[in-house]
Amino acid sequence: MAGSPSRAAGRRLQLPLLCLFLQGATAVLFAVFVRYNHKTDAALWHRGNHSNADNEFYFRYPSFQDVHAMVFVGFGFLMVFLQRYGFSSVGFTFLLAAFALQWSTLVQGFLHSFHGGHIHVGVESMINADFCAGAVLISFGAVLGKTGPAQLLLMALLEVVLFGINEFVLLHLLGVRDAGGSMTIHTFGAYFGLVLSRVLYRPQLEKSKHRQGSVYHSDLFAMIGTIFLWIFWPSFNSALTALGAGQHRTALNTYYSLAASTLGTFALSALVGEDGRLDMVHIQNAALAGGVVVGTSSEMMLTPFGALAAGFLAGTVSTLGYKFFTPILESKFKVQDTCGVHNLHGMPGVLGALLGVLVAGLATHEAYGDGLESVFPLIAEGQRSATSQAMHQLFGLFVILMFASMGGGLRGLLLKLPFLDSPLDSQCYEDQVHWQVPGEHEDEAQRPLRVEEADTQA
């Protein structure tokens, strides 16, 4: 049905073998390297004289659960908007994130917390692993519908490594502050995916154009994703910030920023819409830009007003991006950005990085008091001035863009290898390439996959 018999046979084995290999290798590495940390190990925890209430679990786990819901429910359903790609959107999100969180536990562990020959894990590593999975899913959004699951797993395999290195360079070598990941998660994930999408450019993609839109119900499913991302974003940005006022302030700032980006999105969507009508694509996506834009600065003394202003700006820019820039991105730059990640994660991520530069540059001992230590330790310890911190933040942005672009490009070339499970140009955005799909209605036999014509790409 989809291509020649040998191609089908290849697909039959490609995904299973890759899953089995990746899971087997990960398990072996876990056996050798991964150990409970002293807050999860039965013996180590009881060796200290701790109150159970002091276990980090109680400060971080509720936030972790919110992040976990965002990654699997939020990202998964947000991409269900395509009319015939719901199984793949939510299913491949599930597969990619389940792999990425294991693999990033290893990569981040080797880079950040490798002591005595072991990686020590606990709720903090769980959050970090989910964050990395989030970046992989952002990249997935840029190539959604045009890649097979084996391709995506390879993308994740390599992106996780690069994510870890990039994060290490920024946070540890440059001393950049980026608690909620405007830079390391959103900007990195978006430009990695966009460059990848550029390399995988399909000039014949209009053969699948009739499946590229939504239907009424798929837009409602996507709103499940949107709303869960929106409500839990305060937990995302605050999940790893300093305990106490730090976590509290980060959640508060994100809450305000998201509210303002929602109003900005509705305003602009109606303004640029046909007949003044709202566009669901804008609401589903641009209203979330408020969470992205304060990812770096929400732990800082952004002020509630600053959060509102930043969120409003992000919602506005993101909506305009969907309306005016996405078509240009495809026609002029040959980037087919299925979910518009450039508008939701790319531009707001860069704005968020710049906002971080600004707010860091304005940091004073007076404004932060003894809290300066937990937000800007290098300034508090006198190793850096606020201006120097700001310059480091700015430099970090360039490092990310370089890493993401090079990485995305290299991976894109790799993914063009002909044996991989890339769908034909006429079969993009179509679940039936990868799934056994029931009909739309009862009594309907399985819908035949329409192959418009022999595809030159095969």
Which 328-367 positions form the footprint of a copy of itself (CB under 8 A)? Answer: 366-367
**Residue 47 binds to a copy of itself (criterion: CB under 8 A):** yes
| Closer CB to a copy of itself, 108 or 187, in the complex | 108
**In this structure, are residues 135 and 159 in contact, taking their beta carbons and an 8 Å threshold?**
yes
Write the single-letter amino acid at 345: H
| Closer CB to a copy of itself, 84 or 146, in the complex | 84
Of 161, 174, 270, 394, which lies in the binding site for a copy of itself, with binding defined by CB under 8 A? 270
Of 196, 251, 359, 400, which lies in the binding site for a copy of itself, with binding defined by CB under 8 A? 251
Backbone φ, ψ for residue 114 (5° rounding): -95, 105
| Closer CB to a copy of itself, 23 or 385, in the complex | 23
Task: Tell the smallest beta-carbon distance from residue 26 to a copy of itself (Å).
Answer: 7
Of 115, 435, 452, 458, which lies in the binding site for a copy of itself, with binding defined by CB under 8 A? 435
**Residue 213 binds to a copy of itself (criterion: CB under 8 A):** yes
**Residue 454 binds to a copy of itself (criterion: CB under 8 A):** no
Of 223, 286, 329, 360, which lies in the binding site for a copy of itself, with binding defined by CB under 8 A? 223
CA-nearest of 166, 178, 141 to 345 is: 141
**Residue 188 binds to a copy of itself (criterion: CB under 8 A):** no
Q: Which stretch binds a copy of itself (CB under 8 A): 136-144, 222-230, 330-338, 397-405?
A: 222-230
Q: Restricting to residues 118-177, which ones interact with a copy of itself according to CB under 8 A?
A: 121-123, 126, 149
Backbone φ, ψ for residue 430 (5° rounding): -130, 115
Q: Which stretch binds a copy of itself (CB under 8 A): 52-60, 135-143, 329-337, 386-394?
A: 52-60
| Closer CB to a copy of itself, 70 or 138, in the complex | 70
Q: Hey, how many other C-beta atoms are within 10 angstroms of the C-beta on 380?
A: 17
**Residue 1 binds to a copy of itself (criterion: CB under 8 A):** yes
What CA–CA distance (Å, rounded) separates 30 from 27?
5
- For residue 85, give every residue at least 6 positions away whose Cβ sits within 8 Å of its Cβ, in sequence order, or none: 79, 144, 145, 211, 429, 430, 431
DSSP 136-183: HHHHHHHHTTSS-HHHHHHHHHHHHHHHHHHHIIIIIIS----TT-II
Of 4, 6, 46, 453, which lies in the binding site for a copy of itself, with binding defined by CB under 8 A? 46
**Residue 115 binds to a copy of itself (criterion: CB under 8 A):** no
**Residue 370 binds to a copy of itself (criterion: CB under 8 A):** yes
Does an H or E element contain 115, and which?
strand 114-115
**Residue 278 binds to a copy of itself (criterion: CB under 8 A):** yes
Radius of gyration (Cα) for the chain, nearest Å?
A: 22
Q: Hey, how many other C-beta atoms are within 10 angstroms of the C-beta on 399?
A: 17
Write the single-letter amino acid at 117: G
**Residue 324 binds to a copy of itself (criterion: CB under 8 A):** no
Task: Tell the smallest beta-carbon distance from residue 195 to a copy of itself (Å).
Answer: 27
- For residue 89, give every residue at least 6 positions away whose Cβ sits within 8 Å of its Cβ, in sequence order, or none: 76, 77, 79, 80, 82, 144
| Closer CB to a copy of itself, 259 or 404, in the complex | 259
| Closer CB to a copy of itself, 110 or 266, in the complex | 266
Of 116, 276, 418, 448, which lies in the binding site for a copy of itself, with binding defined by CB under 8 A? 276
Of 4, 117, 203, 275, which lies in the binding site for a copy of itself, with binding defined by CB under 8 A? 275
Nearest 5°: the CA angle 236, 240, 242 is 125
**In this structure, are residues 194 and 335 in contact, taking their beta carbons and an 8 Å threshold?**
yes
The count of chain residues that interact with a copy of itself, using the rule CB under 8 A, is: 147
Of 158, 165, 169, 280, which lies in the binding site for a copy of itself, with binding defined by CB under 8 A? 280
What CA–CA distance (Å, rounded) separates 51 from 392?
39
Of 25, 50, 115, 402, which lies in the binding site for a copy of itself, with binding defined by CB under 8 A? 50
Task: Tell the smallest beta-carbon distance from residue 89 to a copy of itself (Å).
Answer: 9
Task: Tell the smallest beta-carbon distance from residue 426 to a copy of itself (Å).
Answer: 15
Q: Restricting to residues 54-73, which ones interact with a copy of itself according to CB under 8 A?
A: 54-59, 61-62, 65-66, 68-69, 72-73
Q: Hey, how many other C-beta atoms are within 10 angstroms of the C-beta on 217?
A: 12
Q: Which stretch binds a copy of itself (CB under 8 A): 191-199, 279-287, 342-350, 400-408?
A: 279-287
What CA–CA distance (Å, rounded) separates 94 from 435?
14
CA-nearest of 311, 272, 279 to 294 is: 311
Backbone φ, ψ for residue 334 (5° rounding): 55, 40
Of 117, 216, 331, 456, which lies in the binding site for a copy of itself, with binding defined by CB under 8 A? 216
Q: Which stretch binds a copy of itself (CB under 8 A): 92-100, 162-170, 322-330, 412-420?
A: 92-100
**Residue 254 binds to a copy of itself (criterion: CB under 8 A):** no
Backbone φ, ψ for residue 207 (5° rounding): -60, -20
Does an H or E element contain 312, and which?
helix 304-320
